[in-house]
Structure 1
Amino acid sequence: MTPIAPNHKPAILALSDGTVVRGRSIGSVGTTGGELCFNTSMTGYQEIFTDPSYHGQLMMMTYPHIGNYGTMSRDDEARKVMISGLIVRSFSDDYSNPIADGSLQDYLERNKLIGISGVDTRMLVRHIRTKGVMNAVISSEISDEKELIRKAKEWDDMEGLELATRVTRKEAQTVPSDGPYRIAAMDYGIKQNIINSFVNRGCTLRVFPAETAPEKVMEWEADGYFFSNGPGDPNASSHYGLPVVEAAKKSGKPLFGICLGHQLMALSEGIPIRKMFVGHRGANQPVKNLKTGLVEISTQNHGFAVDEKRIDTSKVEVTHINLNDQTIEGLRFKNFQGMSVQYHPEASPGPHDSSYLFDQFMEMVEQGAGHKEQATTGTEKSN
């Protein structure tokens, strides 16, 4: 028998294909919907819930027990919870963690997140892997299954959906460091640990909102340009993303992209992006580095990918592939100084096998900026 939370209201999960499962409400009471996806991480649920790349998605955790170590404010990757809803098999109201701030239930209520527990997540994962990604609705206030199925069918599809502007910051912000290098970072939903990864390497960051005009970004005279992760269809973000990528390419400075940023850099070279049948989401995805032959265990979160059937090898070199399905996971660009990966080298949560990618980018920045002793410090130039 699937374990349930007996002190919580009944809830329903309805998929757009007519599949309906019942369980118990967790978090806030209400109705929510989005693209149903699953994450295979065993831990790190708070970092997952606050990852802006998950905006607009219902998150199903494949690990059966969720909530048993509580929550800690320091683990947030953004200023608020970003997922649209949560689906788990067994939910723990109690927690055992001496440094936790509180329970996951309190955290979900505080962030007004709606969820459901006590459902057969293994069955649902198999269903999605067979049928493909689809929309769904969670409700703890509507009991009419047909109405919920209708809502799921009417929910906006992720393909063609522009979401980065919903999670980006409203104003540019400088994040100082003691180092000499200046990185202009485009915020399409940037994670906090990406910012930390640059600051820890001596970079002062100027983080720009997603729709910032390229002229404004170029005014800051960065030593390198970073294009962040983010939610939604990259094709729908290209009208504001590509002009900045093109301006950065013309600057002659190195470029680095992660996730959505990787896809925008590929689009700038005319390489199409496709919607995946089932995305990659978890902290245990095997990636092969084609340059070294080594395998990295990576953190991933993407439902779109570079179209491997339409790759143009005169413009890019494929550097990394996913060993589960051969999806392209990394590129080096031949017409400008640029590198990008589909996955998350900053982890959070997950392994740090791929953190060297930040170091590789910094080597490119250092070569372009010249000797460190001749560079002006980021704090002096940050205004």
Structure 2
Amino acid sequence: MKGYLQLESGDIYEGNWLTNHILEDVSGEIVFFTGMTGYQEVLTDPSYKDQIIVFTYPLIGNYGINEEDFESNRPHVAGVIVYEANEEASHYQAQYTLKQYLQKWNIPLLSHIDTRSVVKKIRNSGSMPALLTKSYPKEINVPKLCEDNKVSKVSTSQFETFGAGSIHIVLIDYGKKESILSSLLERNCKVTVIPYHTSFQMIRKMNPNGILLSNGPGNPKNLQSHLPTVKELITHYPTLGICLGHQLVALSLGGNTKKLLFGHRGANHPVKDEKNNIVFMSSQNHSFYVDKDSLIGTNLKGRFYNLHDQSIEGLVHDYLPIQTVQFHPEANPGPAEGAYVFDEFLNMVKENNRSNVAYA
């Protein structure tokens, strides 16, 4: 059955539906992911909430979907576009094919689209609203993007504690990936996962040793009302911010964020660590970045930088125990070369507890 992708620019691409029962048009922001593998983690990463994802690798789905590599309990993408989807799963752990998994959640899968052409359009014109439809569009009718608070759609609604280690980390869930939680548990932490809107007073009663601000979807400025809480937390506890968490730290201390033309999404982005003078490949998924010029007077300074466009990939504070990264140190999918960020964070937490630093 024929299906169509229409971009806000007016470009129309014809493909084939692989999933059935597409009852109505599906809209969202169209973005692309530059990885050969890792589609299961991408589909279930809450940071992709309401986005239509184009996979640049020409064959997706050959190892299927298993029960081990989910980053959340459901997919969050609005739709999926591939050149070719393998309808058989070759891996011994596979429980579903890509088609079966997406169909289970009523998420459209459109194949045999000229993905190279689509990606070139996005790279030149930027990520934009797009529409997946059953019939050939006779006019441009792509809905505008809804600039709502997407974090509220993906954050947990309850308090949950995992592990029993001596270091207690409160993980604020803006749309966390499960591998962030598992990275802390592997390092013998006790972790309490909490809703994104939890008050500072309630968090203080939990007596944490450190705070982790997670990744999540959407524009960080949609969380302006939560910035005072973020500021209180990062000036009272050792803090690690990842992706959206990194951006919220910058905003809470007076910095600014801007939107990238087409974002960073993939498992092959080179990052330089200025402190250790090393370069490594990283996993990334974000549309916004921290503006370097806006950091003047914030006591924040860049430590990590993207070697493609020199955008800031991580911050440290002049005197507070704060560390942030724009990339995903837990990877999944992607290289794990940046995982030492978790070790540095926990060493910072331990050192702070030993020295009993007095906070402002």
Relative to the length of structure 2, the TM-score reads 0.95
The letter for the 1-side match of 2:200 is: P
1:155 to 2:144 alignment: yes
Distance 1:34 1:228 in 2: 23
Q: 2:160 aligns with which of 173, 177, 198?
A: 173
Residue in structure 1 matched with residue 202 of structure 2 by the alignment:
216
Residue in structure 1 matched with residue 358 of structure 2 by the alignment:
none
The letter for the 2-side match of 1:116 is: L
Residue in structure 2 matched with residue 375 of structure 1 by the alignment:
none
Distance 1:220 1:308 in 2: 34
1:184 to 2:147 alignment: no
Residue deviations 1:301-351 (CA, integer Å, cap 9, x gap): 000000123232651121011000111101001252100000100000100
Distance 1:28 1:260 in 2: 34
Query: Helix, strand or coil: the match of 2:95?
Result: coil
1:29 to 2:13 alignment: no
1:1-383 to 2 correspondences below 5 Å: 9-30=1-22, 31-140=25-134, 143-146=135-138, 149-150=140-141, 152=142, 154-157=143-146, 160-177=147-164, 179-240=165-226, 242-251=227-236, 253-312=237-296, 315-370=299-354
Distance 2:280 2:148 in 1: 31
Q: 1:28 to 1:204 in 2, by over 3 A?
A: farther
Q: 1:29 to 1:309 in 2, by over 3 A?
A: farther
The number of residues matched between the two structures is 353
The letter for the 2-side match of 1:37 is: V
Q: How far did 1:366 drift? A: 0.9
CA contact (8 A) 1:162 1:234 kept: no
Distance 2:269 2:297 in 1: 25
CA RMSD of aligned residues (A): 1.4
Distance 1:89 1:307 in 2: 35
What are structure 2's unaligned runs of at least 5 residues?
356-360
Distance 2:20 2:327 in 1: 31
Query: Helix, strand or coil: the match of 2:68?
Result: helix
The letter for the 2-side match of 1:243 is: P
The letter for the 2-side match of 1:219 is: K
What are structure 1's unaligned runs of at least 5 residues?
1-8, 372-383
Query: Helix, strand or coil: the match of 1:75?
Result: coil
CA contact (8 A) 2:253 2:298 kept: no
Q: How far did 1:115 drift? A: 2.0
Identity %: 37
The letter for the 1-side match of 2:290 is: V
Distance 1:14 1:357 in 2: 41
Q: How far did 1:28 drift? A: 4.2
The letter for the 1-side match of 2:207 is: E
Distance 1:135 1:29 in 2: 23
Residue in structure 2 matched with residue 374 of structure 1 by the alignment:
none
The letter for the 2-side match of 1:334 is: D
The letter for the 2-side match of 1:54 is: Y
CA contact (8 A) 1:87 1:116 kept: yes
